[in-house]
């Protein structure tokens, strides 16, 4: 990371500490936010900083949480995050899931009373580095209408899967079940830009390219009833199962100050060599075979999930993170207030 | 089930036994095929009967498999199916995954050297009836092109998730990552009907509604690169991880007689009340809330995954299974040859 980005990391950490996060929690949170910027997921980056601080100030995020960890078996644990900032709960959870899997082959960790934790891939990377496969689910505030309904209820409920690839670039699929990420719509709103047609409906059920109207309306799920089914699955795994809010109950952190978000997360991890000792060689063969396929016109290389984000990250490491004017104002305001 | 369908079950079982399956294996296989017909998944039903028998005759399905079960931990097991008919391997695997989860809270069972097992939901139901959540993955012969490629390599690689719902209708999402199920294309081919536009390309990369051309060409994944990523995930989970064929290596059972299919499956199960004792009440609340949402015009009820299949099943139980002429000919031929 270049000097200017390192400085930005220090500023973000300083702001979190100013808002009473413990130094260790501020570090975890700043790291996640800077990482989101570096992989190009700006909707999970600095654009959320003021929101987090707002919620800490309003006591909706607990800066000094008493996080309770319960051991259910040597593989399974549950965490009550006591409304900590989501980054911290997720960081504890993935580390515990990794530990459990290293001990028994498989780890399952449920988290309740948490908040938005940014990118699932950020946590998946930790597991993959330890040679584990991982599946991560989290729910989110209402954004997508269940199939057959005109009202949004499901979150963009990402599905994340990570696997060692045999190269330094992990295989990480991290995909929202919405045609567009809610963070990206919000970013478009902040930057006064449009969103593509076919990604959202306004509150009257009409297609819209206006991010403001899309946020009031309904985002469309991927693949119709299938995407709706995936979103419902994620709501069950991360909400119903864990003891968190679900069925539209997760609060929108930007506009709903009636209580903590109570987001839920589920982290599953297991050893890659459980069944075949040569998993890594098999993965390499798999990727090699697929990359060798004939390509569509204009396609230079068939990329596996995670590669494009990794290349962006590598490139962005050398560049200064672009800070939009409105976000620069946020940062200055937060340093003062 | 009505008398005529019961008789059909007996005929199918008789055919399998005639082709040297053990009585127990013939029963499991006949049950899966009749069930597929009853839920309306005809592409996984009688249309495959002749194919299975062909492969047994050609020694590509082993009618007398030495199935090896290896205990890796009290939660984790692996199965080498020794090229058994897929139904049998999957039935043993889900039962073992259920047993492991009941003992330790979580079960993970990998299967290699197996074959096409029909519908994932058929096995998910078993786990859900025992109050478990389940996730099931299996790979399949090349049908869908990886994102960026003009050649099919991924199978229709279904993703299946099951959960107790608090009602007798289980929540079961069982969705192919292809716009259209390969079985449905094959059925359309057999019935000389068309497939919808936008679901497949011919071998020259052009959209087609001709099932024959679609089978020679490429099926389109759901949701572009996301669906391609899901297919790749399923190939890793059920193929690379388990020791089965992968990266396009699973043989098409209808046309490739160069060896056994070597399909892989992965079965994950865990107790629904691991983290919250009142899981069932929470699920009921979840479903109730979603069903109460305002509906789009023309929608009578918002259905959860599995309901529509269940209603079809209930309705079909009272009716005779329709046997197309060509399939009736297959059955008669199989009874004689």
Residue linked to tokens 């399974």:
A76
Q: Yes or no: say if A312 and A39 are a contact pair by the CB < 8 Å rule.
A: yes
Do A74 and A201 sit in the same domain of this protein? no
Q: Is residue B204 part of a domain?
A: yes
Assess B323–A contact: CB distance below 8 Å, yes or no.
no
Q: Yes or no: say if A77 and A101 are a contact pair by the CB < 8 Å rule.
A: no
Closest chain A residue to B74, measured at CA: A104
Do A101 and A242 sit in the same domain of this protein? yes
SS3 A79: strand
Provide the number of structural domains found in chain B.
Answer: 1
Q: Could you give the percent of chain A with pLDDT greater than 90?
A: 85
Considering only the beta carbons, identify the residue of B147, B223, B276 that sits closest to A227. B223
Whole-number pLDDT of residue A39: 96
Do A154 and A243 sit in the same domain of this protein? yes
Q: Is residue A34 part of a domain?
A: no
Separation CA A12–CA A218 (nearest Å): 32
Q: Is residue A58 part of a domain?
A: no
Considering only the beta carbons, identify the residue of B153, B240, B289 that sits closest to A248. B289
Q: What is the CATH number of the domain that holds A126?
A: 3.30.1370.60
Q: Yes or no: say if A186 and A193 are a contact pair by the CB < 8 Å rule.
A: no
Closest chain A residue to B175, measured at CA: A226
Q: What is the CATH number of the domain that holds A213?
A: 3.30.60.50
Do A278 and A296 sit in the same domain of this protein? yes
- What is the value of ipTM here, to two decimals? 0.95
φ and ψ at residue A76, rounded to 5 degrees: -115, 135
For chains A and B, count residue pairs whose Cβ atoms are closer than 8 Å.
Answer: 213
Q: Decide if B286 and A108 are in contact by the 8 Å CB cutoff.
A: no
Whole-number pLDDT of residue A88: 98
pLDDT-derived band of residue A216, with 50, 70 and 90 as boundaries?
confident
- What residues of B are in contact with residue A205 (Cβ under 8 Å)? 296
Would you give the DSSP letter of residue B239?
I
Do A128 and A226 sit in the same domain of this protein? yes
Separation CA A151–CA A146 (nearest Å): 8
Separation CA B261–CA B82 (nearest Å): 11
Do A282 and A228 sit in the same domain of this protein? yes
Q: Is residue B184 part of a domain?
A: yes
Find all residues with CB under 8 Å of A133, minimum gap 6, and list them.
A127, A161, A162, A163, A164, A269, A270, A271, A272, B236, B237, B241
Range of the domain at A195: 181-220
Q: Is residue B225 part of a domain?
A: no
Do A157 and A237 sit in the same domain of this protein? yes
Separation CA B94–CA B32 (nearest Å): 14
Q: Decide if B241 and A75 are in contact by the 8 Å CB cutoff.
A: no
pTM assigned to the model? 0.95
Mean pLDDT of chain A, nearest integer: 95
Q: Is residue A324 part of a domain?
A: no
Whole-number pLDDT of residue B307: 98
Find all residues with CB under 8 Å of A336, minimum gap 6, and list them.
none
Do A101 and A199 sit in the same domain of this protein? no
Whole-number pLDDT of residue A29: 98
Considering only the beta carbons, identify the residue of B110, B235, B301 that sits closest to A275. B110
Do A73 and A214 sit in the same domain of this protein? no
CA distances, B15 to each of A195, A228, B122 (Å): 58, 40, 21
Whole-number pLDDT of residue A323: 96
* A273, pLDDT greater than 80: yes
Assess A207–B contact: CB distance below 8 Å, yes or no.
no
Which stretch of DSSP H or E encloses residue B83? none
Q: Is residue A148 part of a domain?
A: yes
Assess B173–A contact: CB distance below 8 Å, yes or no.
yes
Closest to B144 in 3D by CA, of B214, B220, B211: B220
Q: Is residue B237 part of a domain?
A: no
Whole-number pLDDT of residue B204: 80
Whole-number pLDDT of residue B173: 98
Closest to B203 in 3D by CA, of B141, B139, B143: B143
Q: Which is more confident, B147 or A83?
A: A83
Whole-number pLDDT of residue B290: 98
Do A163 and A257 sit in the same domain of this protein? yes
- What residues of B are in contact with residue A290 (Cβ under 8 Å)? 146, 149, 153, 232, 247-248
Closest chain B residue to A264, measured at CA: B275
CA distances, A20 to each of A29, A79, A308, B291 (Å): 13, 22, 36, 42
Considering only the beta carbons, identify the residue of A153, A230, A272 that sits closest to B290. A153
Whole-number pLDDT of residue B105: 98
Do A115 and A150 sit in the same domain of this protein? yes
User: Residue B18 is encoded by which pair of tokens?
Assistant: 């005639």
Tell me the shortest Cα–Cα distance from B151 to chain A, in angstroms.
Answer: 6
Q: What is the pLDDT of residues A38-72, one digit of tens each?
A: 999 998 999 999 999 999 999 999 999 999 999 99
Q: Decide if A302 and B153 are in contact by the 8 Å CB cutoff.
A: no
Do A100 and A235 sit in the same domain of this protein? yes
Tell me the shortest Cα–Cα distance from B243 to chain A, in angstroms.
Answer: 6
pLDDT in tens for each of the 337 residues of chain B? 899 999 999 999 999 999 999 999 999 999 999 999 999 999 899 999 999 999 999 999 999 999 999 999 999 999 999 999 999 999 999 999 999 999 999 999 999 999 999 999 999 999 999 999 999 999 999 989 999 888 999 999 999 999 999 999 999 999 999 888 777 898 899 999 999 987 888 888 788 999 999 988 888 899 889 999 999 999 999 999 999 999 999 999 999 999 999 999 999 999 999 999 999 999 999 999 999 999 888 899 999 999 999 999 999 999 999 999 999 999 999 999 8
Residue linked to tokens 């039903």:
B45
* A218, pLDDT greater than 90: no
């Amino acid at each position: 990371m270049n000097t200017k980005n390192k400085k930005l990391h220090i500023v973000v950490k300083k702001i979190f500490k100013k808002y009473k996060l413990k130094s260790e929690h501020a570090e975890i949170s700043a790291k996640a936010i800077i990482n989101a910027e570096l992989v190009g997921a700006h909707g999970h980056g600095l654009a959320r900083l003021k929101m987090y601080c707002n919620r800490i100030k309003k006591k909706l995020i607990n800066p000094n949480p008493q996080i309770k960890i319960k051991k259910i078996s040597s593989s399974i644990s549950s965490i009550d995050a006591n409304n900590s900032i989501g980054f911290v709960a997720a960081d504890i959870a993935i580390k515990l899931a990794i530990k459990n899997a290293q001990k028994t082959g498989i780890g399952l960790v449920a988290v309740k009373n948490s908040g938005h934790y940014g990118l699932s891939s950020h946590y998946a990377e930790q597991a993959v580095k330890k040679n584990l496969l991982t599946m991560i689910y989290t729910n989110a505030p209402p954004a997508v209408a269940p199939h057959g309904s005109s009202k949004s209820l499901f979150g963009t409920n990402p599905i994340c899967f990570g696997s060692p690839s045999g190269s330094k670039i992990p295989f990480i699929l991290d995909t929202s079940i919405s045609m567009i990420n809610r963070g990206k719509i919000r970013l478009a709103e902040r930057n006064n830009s449009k969103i593509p047609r076919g990604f959202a409906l306004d509150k009257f059920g009409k297609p819209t390219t206006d991010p403001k109207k899309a946020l009031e309306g309904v985002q469309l799920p991927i693949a119709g009833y299938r995407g709706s089914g995936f979103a419902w699955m994620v709501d069950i795994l991360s909400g119903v199962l864990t003891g968190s809010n679900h069925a539209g109950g997760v609060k929108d952190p930007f506009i709903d100050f009636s209580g903590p978000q109570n987001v839920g997360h589920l982290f599953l991890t297991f050893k890659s060599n459980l069944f075949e000792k040569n998993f890594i060689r098999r993965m390499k063969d798999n990727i090699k075979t697929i990359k060798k396929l004939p390509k569509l016109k204009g396609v230079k290389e068939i990329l596996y999930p995670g590669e494009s984000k990794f290349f962006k990250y590598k490139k962005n490491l050398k560049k200064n993170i672009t800070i939009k004017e409105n976000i620069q104002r946020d940062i200055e305001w937060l340093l003062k207030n």
